[in-house]
Amino acid sequence: MQKRELGKSGLEVSAIGLGCMGLSYGYGPPVSEADGIALIRAAFDKGVTFFDTAEAYGPYANEELLGRALADVRDSVVIATKFGFVGGKPMEGLDSRPETIRAVTEASLKRLGTDHIDLLYQHRVDPAVPVEDVAGTVRDLIAEGKVRHFGMSEAGVDSLRRAHTVQPVAALQSEYSMWWREPEAEILPLCEELGIGFVPFSPLGKGFLTGAITADTTFGEGDFRNVVPRFEEENRKANEALVARLKTIALDRGATPAQIAIAWLLAQKPWIVPIPGTTKLHRLNENLEAAQIELSAADLTVIGEALVAFPAQGARYPASIAGRVGR
């Protein structure tokens, strides 16, 4: 597995990380502890050194799972986690008060079984707390040795720039994929300007870009996609056109649609590190093999034409939480 540096932070990670959320939260019932540990260890054995979690995933269960899975290889991996929701529950609202950041950090350290967090993200910008206070609190935690690097998630340009003046932001984690390209307008140029790495979550469009989801697919109870407008039946029907074109492109390259989607992200900037998540070992292997695919200029042109011809239909978040992003 190749390595990449997140911006100019000095933080080196595997070119593809593992988003661990789905093992415990967001996509239906959690996997068993044994299966979760097996998948995380399989990722490590294949060269993954970058693992993403959060107190909100469960809440708490995902950090505990990751901590147990990586206990004996802790010094060989980079663990990223997040703070920012009331009680670790996204639907309860935002909370990035300095005292909360400190309390969550201490709790996360215990759950992860470690003495430091490599990358601590603010999960969402909290309009009730000046971002300078958030960055300053993490700066102090870094000085104390409890945190190594500061990150933000789904932050807007103004918040990112303001935070960076107080404590350099090592990485911004936000959604970015073939069917959500909004970061290209302002966020990626700012990351390049400031030397901030970019970590795309949902690089496979919450599974849609794999080609395994159709208009007839049903999602289980507790699956977040049940409330996402982009996954409404009519929108899925419309969005199948892009996946059909992606399948053709992938076939020409002897790859899968998922691999092309991840390789496309890797080709955008050398400081972009996607974190696809999965609960299945065969999907993990498929995703990681994308690091071996180098798309040519001609490939990127063909893909770009497809993205223009078949724009994604439907909002990426329900209205109830859409206002939390891009602040």
* Phi, psi for 170 (deg, rounded to 5): -75, -35
The tokens for 171 are 């990485």
Query: What pLDDT does 188 receive?
Result: 98
Q: Which residue stretches of the chain have pLDDT < 50?
A: none
Report the pLDDT value the prediction gives residue 94, as an integer from 0 to 100. Answer: 98
User: 55: which DSSP letter?
Assistant: T
User: Which tens digits make up the pLDDT trace of 118-150?
Assistant: 999 999 999 999 999 999 999 999 999 999 999
Average pLDDT, the chain: 97
Domains of the chain with bracketed CATH = 3-205+269-293 (3.20.20.100)
CB neighbour list of residue 187: distance below 8 Å, 6 or more residues apart: 157, 160, 172, 174, 198
Identify whether the C-beta of residue 90 lies closer than 8 Å to the C-beta of residue 56. Answer: yes
Q: Round the CA-based radius of gyration of the chain to a whole number and report it.
A: 19
DSSP codes of every residue in 215-233: TT----TTBGGGG-GGGSH
pLDDT for position 155: 98
Show which residues are catalytic: 57
**Cα-to-chain-centroid distance, residue 37:** 19
CA dist 70 and 77 (Å) reads 8
- The token pair at 21 is 């959320």
Specify burial of residue 202 (Cβ count, 10 A radius: 0-12, 13-18, 19+): buried
C-alpha to C-alpha distances, 315 to 113, 178, 225, 229, nearest whole angstrom: 38, 14, 12, 5
**Parallel/antiparallel/unpaired status of strands 3-5 and 12-14:** antiparallel
